[in-house]
Amino acid sequence: MNLSRTKQSPEPVPGIHSLAGRRIAMIATVSYHLVNQLGHQAEYFRDIGMSVVMVSSAGPEVAKVRTGPRLRYEIIEIPRSLTPGSDLAALLKLTKFFLTHRFDLVHSTTPKAGLLTALAAFAARIPVRLHTFTGQPWVTLKGPMRWASRASDRLIGYLNTKCYADSGSQAAFLASEGILPARKISVIGHGSLAGVDMERFDPDLQTTEMKREIRQSLGIAPTSTLLVFVGRISPDKGMAELIDAFRGLLSAGYDVDLLLVGPHDRERGGISVFDLDDALQCPRIHYLGYAPQPEKYLAISDIFCLPSYREGFGTVVIEAAAMGLPTVGTAIYGLTDAVADGETGLLVPPRDARALEAAFRRMLDHPEERARMGQAARRRCFELFEKSRVNAQVAAEYARILEMKCMI
């Protein structure tokens, strides 16, 4: 059954929704995150009659946004790293921007944008201030940086009207860690930041010939079982364990290749035990770098890999699921929501290369089970995370909060 062609919810009609006329600012640190993750949600809000402004640092993705009377983009440079002078400048610009436009609601994501937006929106007395947590950098930090990052999350929780996590397990973790009280954090729907565009992430869009050509261009044999990772190539994504496990598969005689898709975060998180250049000495490990159309590479793959140490939810997991791929990942908060262990993939303890290798072996030794998991993953993705469902759930939450504030 081609789920992407199943009847979708009708497109919203401007002027009849309870949120029509409300003004919202959507803020993230970088345009890559805001446009690629939340662009279709911003368009949905515009289509139900809201006035939407997307705010982030400059980036090439901004050009992809179809701006118009009810949707525009504002560039405010928000540094990712700790830079007091630039942070203060961004805070002042955000505060002035909020004072000028008097939004009904602001909604931030990503750590630095979350902190600066919380401070600026509170100072500007924006009536509804929201933030979605998508992962905690401090989980893998130590010393003063860990303390500062935790303190930042606590302040975000304190200053905002309401906070969300993009997974239930992450919400429970934040509450248990004392970052904010359980009453102040929840999950919209079944989680995920903005769902998945299943018309884009549709395995049927790539023909057999197209897949063959892509594999050939990468030097991957058509008979090889292809493991794929999509995301930042960084230590906290479990790269060292992934390479170790993959080398174990090669030593055991499996006909496999590994494709790494995403930018290499060489310095974030300090000195790494993972060396990309060393890994690429293996001819069966292929590094593509950033790819604007990851679905093309998911389409040629057989197993998705995400052995992270931390994840808020793992949006890329449900994008892979939409493409019919099972996931081998780690049993950490966030991924336990994105992957149904034993049904849509396999979860193993983090930082355990041998357990990771064993999960890959199970997938490779039982192709029928692997195919069943892939089909179940796509079905679950459609039922829980299809974008129109998630967009409607977020809009309903906005309406609920604004109604509580007597603003609609």
- Residue 263, token pair as written in the block: 């930018």
Q: In which band, very low, low, confident or very high, does the pLDDT at 275 lie, cut at 50, 70 and 90? A: confident
Q: How much is the mean pLDDT over the chain?
A: 92
Q: In which band, very low, low, confident or very high, does the pLDDT at 214 lie, cut at 50, 70 and 90? A: very high
Tokens 């906070």 belong to 163
Judge whether residue 137 has pLDDT over 80. Answer: yes
Q: What is the mean pLDDT of residues 274-288?
A: 89
The string of pLDDT tens digits covering residues 291-302 is 989 999 999 999
Lowest mean pLDDT among 2-16, 41-55, 274-288: 2-16
Distant-in-sequence, close-in-space partners of 164: CB < 8 Å, separation ≥ 6: 130, 131, 132, 133, 171, 185, 186, 187, 188
Judge whether residue 6 has pLDDT over 90. Answer: no
Domains of the chain: 14-195+386-404 (3.40.50.2000), 203-385 (3.40.50.2000)
Q: Angle, nearest 10°, between helix axes 111-123 and 84-101?
A: 50
* Predicted local distance difference test score (pLDDT) of residue 179: 96
State the DSSP H helix or E strand holding residue 230, giving kind and residue range, or none if neither.
strand 225-230
- d(CA 312, CA 362) in angstroms, rounded, equals 27
Coil, strand or helix: which one is 377? helix
- d(CA 319, CA 377) in angstroms, rounded, equals 10
Q: In which band, very low, low, confident or very high, does the pLDDT at 135 lie, cut at 50, 70 and 90? A: confident
Q: In which band, very low, low, confident or very high, does the pLDDT at 10 lie, cut at 50, 70 and 90? A: very low
Q: What are phi and psi of 13, to 5 degrees?
A: -105, 125
* Predicted local distance difference test score (pLDDT) of residue 82: 83
* Predicted local distance difference test score (pLDDT) of residue 81: 84
Distant-in-sequence, close-in-space partners of 225: CB < 8 Å, separation ≥ 6: 254, 255, 256, 257, 302, 303, 364
pTM over 0.85: yes
- d(CA 26, CA 73) in angstroms, rounded, equals 10
Q: Do the Cβ atoms of 289 and 268 come closer than 8 Å?
A: no
Buried b (16+ CB within 10 A) or exposed e, 3-37: bbeeeeeeebeeeebbbbebbbbbbbbbbbbbbbb
Coil, strand or helix: which one is 397? helix
Among 288, 23, 273, 284, CA closest to 140: 273
Judge whether residue 59 has pLDDT over 80. Answer: yes
Question: Residue 107's CB: how many other CB atoms inside 10 A?
Answer: 25
- d(CA 191, CA 385) in angstroms, rounded, equals 8
Lowest mean pLDDT among 13-27, 130-144, 209-223, 364-378: 13-27
Judge whether residue 273 has pLDDT over 80. Answer: no
* Predicted local distance difference test score (pLDDT) of residue 223: 97
* Predicted local distance difference test score (pLDDT) of residue 80: 87
* Predicted local distance difference test score (pLDDT) of residue 361: 99
Distant-in-sequence, close-in-space partners of 84: CB < 8 Å, separation ≥ 6: none
